[in-house]
Amino acid sequence: MNLTQKAMLGVSAVAMATALTGCGQSTAYPRTAAPTDAQCRDWEWDSKDGVYRCDDSSSSYYRHYYYGNSYYPTRSSLQKSSSYSTYKSSISSKTSSGFGKGSSISGG
């Protein structure tokens, strides 16, 4: 295999990896570090809601959502918060659903 073929193979591999990375990407990544609240020592990022959730089974806040320095016992109570609703709409507009969303190719 000559140098040109190796270079083209490398470029193709990078292009393929880039394309696959974008497909179906809808994860909201942590925008901040995990909370340092003493009431919970173990935090998990909830990508669906874009907030942290207490995963410390010894905490009275176990499985509570944490947003804006407040704990929410259920997803429903979190979603009822007006400040969370504003935050959620801001992160929803920044996540993507992959390359080519809304486009179509027709043969002819």
Tens place of pLDDT for every residue, the chain, 108 residues?
677 765 555 555 555 544 444 444 445 566 678 899 899 999 999 988 999 999 999 999 999 999 988 999 999 999 999 999 988 888 766 555 555 555 555 555
pTM of the complete model: 0.58
Give the pLDDT confidence score for residue 33 in this predicted structure.
83
Q: What's the burial of 27, exposed, middle or buried (CB within 10 Å: 0-12/13-18/19+)?
A: exposed
Edge-to-edge, what's the strand order for the sheet holding 70-72?
A: 43-46, 51-54, 65-67, 70-72
E-only strand ranges, the chain? 43-46, 51-54, 65-67, 70-72
Residue 55 CA, chain-centre distance (Å), reads 18
Give the pLDDT confidence score for residue 78 in this predicted structure.
95
What DSSP element (H or E) covers 20? Answer: helix 3-22
